[in-house]
Amino acid sequence: MTENRQTRAELAEEITERIRPFVPATEEYQKTLTEAMAYSVFNGGKRVRPMLLLLTYRALGGDRAAEATLVDPFLAAIEMIHCYSLVHDDLPAMDNDRFRRGILTTHAKFGHAMGILAGDGLLNAAFEAALSAREPAGCEGRILAAMRILARRAGAFGMVGGQTVDVEKTGQPMTEEELVFVYRLKTGALLAAAMQVGAVLAGAPAETIDAVGEIAERVGLAFQIQDDILDVVSTTEELGKPVGSDEKNHKTTYVTLHGMRESRETEERLSEEALAILENISGGGDKEPLAELITSLVGRTV
């Protein structure tokens, strides 16, 4: 377990360096913007989404030689989309969080207007990064196909849609259906995009891309249930943000609806199902690192 963790931290560090060239930087007049954008990305993030993308690409036999030109732009794209969503979620008009991962949030450090603009800049830069990808001969069409998945799952029918309902329901009880809708879209959609983009870039056939979607759906829900569990059992120091905030905000979570024991059981079942589907995919690459990542995501403590 300790060895696994170390490996994940190292891979996160490697991914951070691989996405760095795609995050805009300038000494021109708009310097504050690019500083705020970089601050939002290089803040000790765990890089879960690009990691899922990369390990799915490798599990499905993606060409290692093409990673730098074809995959790295998408690692940056998905991480910048994730980061922009956090920056905007933290804004005073939304969750109004001044701290994340133990440091000031972007708007708390750079001001509200810059928080809005840094988020906008990151979402835009995500697409710029993806558009800088280059397809090896024989792989034509993969960039557009991957971008279509990414854009769809990040937008009104994906992450932004889920965030909308989460915001609208703040302080109100949610039904199970509403809660699962939010989880599926707000968190699940981008995790699914990560894995499916990895599959598309690796050249996987349509049924494999669908199967990867099935895995991602379970991982996404389990991931979110784990978030709810951690909000109850973790400490502020471990989590880097206030714990018990769900209860404080009278928020419906999987734990408030189903209790701790059932939540843990559901999480375990989803994780096992995800691993079973992965087992059945004939990938052409090493599936073990992806399986380990999925396991560690569900069992994580921060």
- Given the rule CB under 8 A, which residues bind a copy of itself? 24, 26, 28-30, 32-34, 37, 84, 88, 91-94, 111-117, 119-121, 123-125, 127-128, 131-132, 140, 143-144, 147-148, 151-152, 154-157, 160-165, 167-168, 178, 181, 185
Query: How far, in Å, CA of 293 to CA of 298, rounded?
Result: 9
Place of tokens 């001969």: 137
3-state secondary structure 220-256: HHHHHHHHHHHHHHCCHHHHCCCCCHHHHCCCCCHHH
Q: Judged by CB, which is closer to a copy of itself: 9, or 131?
A: 131
Q: How far is the CB of 141 from a copy of itself (least distance, A)?
A: 9
Q: How far is the CB of 295 from a copy of itself (least distance, A)?
A: 31
Neighbours of 167 (CB within 10 A): 14
Q: Judged by CB, which is closer to a copy of itself: 151, or 291?
A: 151
Whether 117 contacts 36, CB under 8 Å: yes
Q: Judged by CB, which is closer to a copy of itself: 115, or 285?
A: 115
Q: Judged by CB, which is closer to a copy of itself: 178, or 272?
A: 178
Q: How far is the CB of 50 from a copy of itself (least distance, A)?
A: 19
> Which stretches within the chain are classed as H helix?
2-19, 31-41, 48-59, 72-89, 106-110, 112-131, 142-154, 159-168, 176-182, 189-201, 206-233, 236-239, 245-248, 254-280, 288-298
Q: Judged by CB, which is closer to a copy of itself: 129, or 294?
A: 129
From residue 108, alpha-carbon distances to 23, 29, 114 in Å are 21, 21, 10
Q: How far is the CB of 133 from a copy of itself (least distance, A)?
A: 9
Neighbours of 295 (CB within 10 A): 16
Q: How far is the CB of 163 from a copy of itself (least distance, A)?
A: 6
Q: Judged by CB, which is closer to a copy of itself: 125, or 239?
A: 125
Q: How far is the CB of 157 from a copy of itself (least distance, A)?
A: 7
Q: Residue 90, CB half-sphere, CA atoms under 13 Å: how many?
A: 29
Q: Judged by CB, which is closer to a copy of itself: 21, or 259?
A: 21
Neighbours of 253 (CB within 10 A): 20
Q: Which residue from 7, 60, 39 is spatially nearest to 204, judged by alpha carbons?
A: 60
Q: Judged by CB, which is closer to a copy of itself: 162, or 289?
A: 162
Q: How far is the CB of 150 from a copy of itself (least distance, A)?
A: 9
Q: How far is the CB of 3 from a copy of itself (least distance, A)?
A: 39
